[in-house]
């Protein structure tokens, strides 16, 4: 299932059970069952990936939770302990490509 269809289906289910839109943050799940190419494609195309078939889908904040992920390590060829700069760059790219929710921790 594409990330686009996944969020369409997820939003439909949340609405069916009465969860209001202001309680939602979309999380693409960087690093979970995706290739390095898929992860960076999603990061690059956040605006398009989350516009969805529902025009309202674009109103949700996006969680860019890429802290020290393997996608950074594979790209930079560094262990997790050396991925801070890559994590910062990934979060900045997410911010520039959308308006993510950035965790404060």
Rama region for 98: left / alpha / beta (φ>0; ψ in -120 to 50; rest)? beta
**pTM > 0.85:** no
State pLDDT tens for residues 26-38: 888 888 888 999 8
d(C-alpha 96, C-alpha 31), whole Å: 20
Of 27, 103, 40, nearest to 71 (Cα)?
A: 40
State pLDDT tens for residues 16-60: 999 988 888 888 888 888 899 989 988 887 766 555 445 455 677
């Amino acid at each position: 299932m594409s990330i686009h269809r996944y969020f369409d289906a997820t939003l439909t289910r949340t609405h069916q059970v009465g969860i209001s839109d202001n309680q939602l943050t979309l999380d693409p799940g960087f690093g979970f069952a995706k290739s390095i190419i898929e992860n960076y494609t999603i990061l690059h195309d956040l605006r398009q990936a989350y516009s969805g078939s529902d025009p309202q889908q674009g109103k949700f904040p996006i969680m860019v939770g890429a802290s020290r992920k393997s996608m950074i390590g594979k790209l930079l060829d560094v262990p997790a302990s050396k991925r801070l700069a890559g994590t910062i760059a990934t979060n900045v790219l997410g911010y520039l490509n959308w308006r993510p929710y950035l965790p404060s921790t």
